[in-house]
Amino acid sequence: MRTSILMRPEVIAFSLLIIGTAIVTLRMTRPGGRLSGRRKGGRAVAAAGGGGETPFKVEQVNRSDPKARMESVTFADVAGLEEAISELREVVDYLRDPHRFERLGATMPRGVLLYGMPGCGKTLLARALAGETGVPFYFVSATSFVEKFVGLGAARVRQLFEAAKSSAPSIIFIDELDAIGRHRSADTTGEREFDHTLNQLLVELDGFAGASGVMIIGATNRPELIDSALLRPGRFDRRIQVDRPDRGGREKILRLHADSRPVSRRVDWGEVAAHTAGLTAAELANIVNEGCLLAARRHRDRVAPEDIDEAVSRVLAGTRSARLMSDEEKELVGVHEAGHALLSVLLRGVQPPSRVSIVNRGAAFGRSPWSTADDREVLTKRELMAQLIVLMGGRAAEMQVFGQPSTRAEDDLEHAAGLARRMVERLAMTGRFELAGRKDEGARGNDEGEGGKEVRELLEKAEQAARTILGDNGADLRTIAETLVLKETLTSAELHDIVRGGGGGTVEMSS
């Protein structure tokens, strides 16, 4: 009787189902399965996924690990990024001797954001930081967090921080941060997998427990896309712009890459740097490599100057003309930036940025570099007018020297028009009280709106004031422009020295 029961079809089917489930469970949980994590040597690899998804990998890189995939790089291997390196050296000093900072109540920056255009050296800086500190360094691409399965990205963020906390102090480097850090959607239901992942990252950065002993470094080419909650102090405390190098920086980069190669002493790297304004560090490295390839093709023992000249032509042929500056363009941009810089020194309420350059200038976070002296929220009309004058100073300088404006002023006009419209319609600084508090800016379209006349008058007044001040300080304007064309970059101290040497004084704006 018992045998007949065991041989029934339904009993056999149920038994096969139990056996099949047990086999699948063993396959999923054994080492190397999709639900397991493993640590081997100096490299931590965490895998999580379902179906046919690619396993999630986190690279832990240590200088002491001979099997690490990344070769050891230090700050000595980085050239032309002295400002960014000086900011990161403080992090290195903290990790090497935390007691020196802790006894004064200082804490390690929670996060550092490296931003700038592609090819300028953001990832290289992160690798150099890993080589300098010697602490566990976790490298991951932000794109590997985002999947189609809800909750999987958030789980991967938790997994990453758990591994980093277990070996604290440690550093996490997330490349292409905008892939998970961009602005969250307006969908209040929170159904997007992308939003879940970002929310988990925010919690890990400074939640109830906080990411104790873990510093995060992010790199992005699009900082304007990053969610404001991710950029606030306590999460990303420090922002470091990685610019295209100036003339001195380009020469250092070229020499750095040429030092390990048999290059003829007849090659004048200063001359090469002078003719490659606007190129990134990656493109400069490519010039040296192309020169070596050409020399090998011609069966030379050393790289000759003609090889480098042809390499420059090859790289420039594939570079957009807008990124490479001719002598005429350098002169025009020099005058434009000199107008901004001189007015920022002469006018109260506006402070020059730490450096003025004709190579790159941008408002990466939606804010013009020619803005207020600090982040005060309460400003007077006089101070706002000083901002307008400085913003219009580049265009005014062009009109003063060349008699016509250029496209360089496009961003300046956008910021100036926005500030003037805010003064008229939101702050009622021209007496239009009836416009204050309106919420229909987006519906205005292309017309000038009810306050358009006042906005135009403010901008015209600012440009005329800029031209008058620049005309009275024409010698300083020419000196700053010529120095910018020659050196491509001026520090704030050098700028003030030029103005003081010319006898320029502070101008007080009237309301």
DSSP state, residue 72: P
Give the confidence band of 500 by pLDDT, cuts at 50, 70, 90: confident
The answer to which of 25-39, 101-115, 136-150, 184-198 has the lowest mean pLDDT is: 25-39
Higher pLDDT, 272 or 57: 272
Mean pLDDT of 60-66: 44
Closest CA to 144 of 126, 156, 161: 156
pLDDT digits (tens, 9 = 90+) for 299-358: 999 999 999 988 888 887 665 445 667 788 889 999 999 999 999 999 987 777 777 888
**What is the reported pLDDT for 195?**
73
**What is the reported pLDDT for 50?**
37
Model confidence at 52: pLDDT above 80: no
Give the confidence band of 185 by pLDDT, cuts at 50, 70, 90: low
For the annotated catalytic residues, the residue numbers are 337
pLDDT digits (tens, 9 = 90+) for 354-392: 778 887 655 555 556 676 545 566 788 898 999 999 999
pLDDT digits (tens, 9 = 90+) for 270-291: 989 888 888 888 889 999 999 9
From CA 60, how far away is CA 163, in angstroms rounded? 9
Give the confidence band of 144 by pLDDT, cuts at 50, 70, 90: confident
The answer to which of 186-200, 238-252, 345-359, 461-475 has the lowest mean pLDDT is: 186-200
3-state secondary structure labels for all residues of 385-410:
HHHHHHHCHHHHHHHHHCCCCCHHHH
**What is the reported pLDDT for 80?**
85
Mean pLDDT of 65-70: 42
pLDDT digits (tens, 9 = 90+) for 296-305: 999 999 999 9
Higher pLDDT, 99 or 204: 99
**What is the reported pLDDT for 506?**
62
pTM over 0.75: no
**What is the reported pLDDT for 321?**
47
Supply the mean pLDDT for the chain.
77
From CA 413, how far away is CA 396, in angstroms rounded? 12
The answer to which of 109-118, 223-232, 371-380, 455-464 has the lowest mean pLDDT is: 371-380
**What is the reported pLDDT for 57?**
52
pLDDT digits (tens, 9 = 90+) for 239-266: 888 888 888 889 999 999 999 899 999 9
Closest CA to 334 of 362, 356, 367, 363: 356
**Non-local CB neighbours of 463 within 8 Å, separated by 6+ positions:** 392, 395, 396
Mean pLDDT of 207-222: 73
DSSP state, residue 436: T
Q: Give the relative orientation of helices 393-401 and 410-421 as an angle to the nearest 10 degrees.
A: 130
Mean pLDDT of 177-186: 76
CB 276 within 8 A of CB 359: no
pLDDT digits (tens, 9 = 90+) for 395-421: 999 999 999 999 888 888 998 998 999
pLDDT digits (tens, 9 = 90+) for 89-118: 888 888 788 788 888 888 777 788 899 888
From CA 56, how far away is CA 369, in angstroms rounded? 39
The answer to which of 247-251, 420-424, 442-446 has the lowest mean pLDDT is: 442-446
Model confidence at 452: pLDDT above 50: yes
